[in-house]
Structure 1
Amino acid sequence: MKDRRQIGAIAYSHDAEAGLRILLVTSRETGRWVIPKGWPMKSKLPHQAAAQEAFEEAGVEGSIAKKAAGTYRYPKTLRNGDVVSCRVKVYPMEVKKLASKWPEASERKRRWFSTEDAAAAVVEPDLAKIFLSIGQIVS
């Protein structure tokens, strides 16, 4: 079975006291910690679509890299109950602004994590590896 393609944003911030932090959101279905992600958009380049997802799902605005930091796979359950394998290309996004209102605010929680805690919070091993190496990618 061929992987379906998705794009995602790793929203991060450099904090003088806390260091490099990653913003995660809860998934709508299971409530587990994930990054903002979605399907490619015909009218946008992949990194632009990832930035759009970051705003819709986490209320973040900032500068997003044009080059992906890596990819990971996960099983997605579709609305009809089918499960498909998705390969997500992830783009680092430095957060400049956190909106107090955003499209999916009532459906998700968002929280800052250290890179290590973010890696421990997600279930996808390849995504966790990207979190642990993000310091070299964005520095």
Structure 2
Amino acid sequence: MDLSFFLSPALSSSSMSWCCCWCRWRAENSLRLLYKRALGITIATSGRMTALVARTGRHQQRYEHGHRLVAGCIPYRYRPTGDGKSMEVLMISSQRGEGLLFPKGGWETDETVEEAACREALEEAGVKGHLQGMLGTWDFKSKRQQGVFCPEGLCRAYMFALDVTEQLETWPEQHARQRQWFAVPDAIVQCRHDWMRGALDQCVAFLASGSSSTSNPMLLSDTSLSLEH
């Protein structure tokens, strides 16, 4: 269906401008819903839909007090060993620079922070699973994120633990990133930034405590800034 008519100012009279705005708002939201339904797949346990195409652009990005809000997760699994089981975490390569990262990205206005974290895990790492809890928030600076709403490049990351239940063979950013499972001690060495090591330490402690709830998350805040290039 061609909705371009609804997305253009069809009425020029000032007395009817409110109608144009209303029609444009309805059309844009209808397009967004149609896009999600046409390209959607179910993520994690939320029952919501997300596209098998990586989101681009910043027009729906959330900002708060000069910070770009980011949602991410530490995907993990347990591997059987001779004397029990061993925890592994999934890391991905950066599109710029050296080092490895955990999946994360902008939290947008049409999704919850949990949905954003699951979406980023799917887009960047090609995994789905169950969110086990919010690990906390970490602030960092990124030279690449400087803009009108975030002139200093400040970011605030909301990080979750993600119990991986499915690893996809194809995913949106498979040609731009590599992914690899690491034992926790090796993952700590691989972390590109200090704040990520803090999040991983918190993830290990969180899971060891037996907590597994996103409805009453344990919130920690690390306001010491590390610099991302």
What is the TM-score with the length of structure 1 in the denominator? 0.87
Matches for 1:99-138 after TM superposition, within 5 Å: 99-138=168-207
8 Å CA contact retained: 2:138, 2:158: yes
In structure 2, the residue matched to 1:9 is: 73
Aligned AA (1:74) = F
| Alignment-mate amino acid for residue 134 of structure 2 | A
The alpha-carbon distance between structure 1 residues 43 and 3, as it changes in their structure 2 partners (threshold 3 A), is closer
Q: RMSD of the alignment, in Å?
A: 2.2
Structure 2: how far apart are the matches of 1:21 and 1:104? 22
Larger radius of gyration: 2
Residue 121 of structure 2 is matched in structure 1 by 54
Measured at CA, do residues 42 and 2 of structure 1 come closer, stay the same or move farther in structure 2, by a change above 3 Å?
closer
Q: 2 CA distance for matches of 1:31 and 1:39?
A: 21
What is the SS of the residue equivalent to 2:153? strand
Deviations 1:46-72 (A, max 9, x none): 01110010000000011113x410222
What is residue 25 of structure 1 aligned with on the other side? 92
Counterpart pick for 2:107 among 40, 55, 58: 40
Cα distance, 1:129 vs structure 2: 2.2
**CA-to-partner distance for each residue in 1:87-136, whole Å, 9 max, x for gaps?**
21101100011101000000000011112221221132232122123233
**Partner in structure 2 of residue 71 of structure 1:** 137
Preserved contact between residue 134 and residue 161 of structure 2 (Cα < 8 Å): yes
Partner SS for 2:138: strand
Q: Which amino acid aligns with 2:118?
A: A
Instruction: Identify if the C-alpha distance between structure 1 residues 98 and 130 changes in structure 2 by more than 3 Å, giving closer, same or farther.
Output: same
Relative to 1, partners in 2 of residues 1:23 and 1:30: Cα closer, same or farther, differing over 3 Å? Answer: same
Structure 1: where are the runs of 5+ without partners? none
Paired with 2:206 and 2:165, the residues of 1 have a C-alpha distance of 18
Moved more, 14-23 or 91-100: 14-23
- Percent sequence identity over aligned pairs: 25
**d(CA) in 2 for partners of 1:110, 1:84:** 26
Listed as ranges, the gaps of 5+ residues in structure 2 are 1-64, 211-229
Which has a greater percent of strand?
1
CA contact (8 A) 2:87 2:184 kept: yes
Structure 1 counterpart of 2:78, which letter? Answer: H
Letter in 2 for 1:100: E
- The CA distance in 1 between the partners of 2:202 and 2:80, in whole Å, is 19
How many pairs are equivalent? 138
Matched letter for residue 71 of structure 2: I
SS of structure 2 residue aligned to 1:24? strand
Q: Secondary structure at the match of 2:117?
A: helix
- TM-score normalised by structure 2 residue count: 0.55
